A = this chain, B = another copy of it.
Amino acid sequence: MLLKTPYLLFLGDAADPLAAKVAQGVKDWRPEHCVGQIRLEGCNADMGLSDMTIEEAVAAGAKTLVVGVANRGGVISESWNAVFKEAVSSGMDIASGLHNLLRDIPELVELADKHNQQLIDVRVPQVEYPIASGEKRKGKRVLAVGTDCSVGKMYTALAMEKTMLERGMKASFRATGQTGILITGNGVPLDAVIADFMAGSVEYLTPDNDADHWDLIEGQGSLFHASYSGVTMALIHGGAPDVLILCHEPTRKTMRGLPSYTLPSLEELRDLAMTIAKVVNPEVRVAGLSINTAALSEDEAVAYLAKLEAEMGLPAVDPFRHGAGRLVDAL
């Protein structure tokens, strides 16, 4: 594990709940890792955890202060830094996915060194990854691929992991982005890995395992997204999934950040992803469709999912509305 548990979640002066979505992710998916939260004046987010001082959190066993909030204006403010300094001085590590790196704050680095605490910038690769070997590994792997970025791939994988563990199956969510790493305490920040080592880092993340163990690999980007498609490609060839789940947001008009691009159809995604995945795993199959229906009413969502299911002959579910059970059934 990269991060020591349990955590104290730092919400800072989050302007609204959305600013604290990393903390929300940790609280939703790993509540057992959270001993409390720490909030500064002006904070408008609340995870429903006990508010604690650093001293109280240390007494409660907290090992890592997790920065669960986005900062404003690209600077780490003095009020944040004061908490960070108290945390390392009191025996806690700090983990952050901010663009501004903890390691770039000299007085914090000095204090952490003095107290033998770690400053963990999860945005920065911590390992020298190998070149991918393309060799077959034991165990099973699921990868969520999307028609676009930000259509629910991470949510899908986390929801499937939760359902599988509840059913007593062997399952591990494998984080490939900052939020996922902070949630699970481990992973590869794939978008920050050097090109030649991308696929190798995914092999490293999903090693040999029990024959009945499933890795739920967090997807990134989209094969159809001009800016990030290379990352998605490396995920497929490094992950060598046995099963693909196709993710989609049906009301989105254009690709995220690319206003002149429309989204591909789920059929186009299926055909391209399958062609690419078969290069490394001829047995790969698409098991289901995970649809983010947040913008639809319940009736619209149910009708849309039924229509998709009939058209594509695959279970179509919104795991947030209806749970991931039918996706797990389809494995």
Contact = CB atoms under 8 A, between A and B. Distances in A.
A298 B240 CA distance: 41
Contacts of A195: 190-195, 198, 230-231, 234
Contact of A233 (B233, B240, B264): B233
Interface in A218-263: 223-224, 226-234, 237-238, 240, 255, 257-258, 260-261
B261 A224 contact: no
A97 interface: no
Contacts of A132: 226-227
Interface stretch (A72-80, A166-174, A271-279): A271-279
B134 A226 contact: yes
A319 interface: no
B226 A279 contact: yes
Total copies of the chain: 2
A262 to B, nearest CB: 11
Contacts of A267: none
A196 interface: yes
A200 interface: yes
A230 B227 contact: no
18 contacts: A131-B227, A134-B226, A134-B258, A192-B195, A193-B195, A194-B195, A195-B195, A195-B230, A196-B227, A198-B230, A199-B226, A199-B227, A199-B230, A226-B240, A227-B237, A229-B276, A261-B279, A272-B276
Contacts of A258: 133-134
Interface of A: 131-136, 190-196, 198-200, 223-224, 226-234, 237-238, 240, 255, 257-258, 260-261, 264, 271-272, 275-276, 279-280
- Which one of A228, A275, A280 has the greatest number of beta carbons of chain B within 10 Å? A228
Given A199-B229, A226-B237, A230-B234, 6 more contacts: A134-B226, A192-B195, A195-B195, A196-B228, A226-B238, A226-B279
B135 A260 contact: yes
Contacts of A279: 224, 226, 229, 261, 264
B134 A227 contact: yes
A230 to B, nearest CB: 3
A83 B258 CA distance: 50
A238 to B, nearest CB: 7
A132 B223 CA distance: 14
Contacts of A260: 134-136
- Which one of A224, A230, A234 has the greatest number of beta carbons of chain B within 10 Å? A230
Contacts of A280: 226
A225 to B, nearest CB: 8
Contacts of A272: 275-276
Contacts of A192: 194-196
B191 A193 contact: no
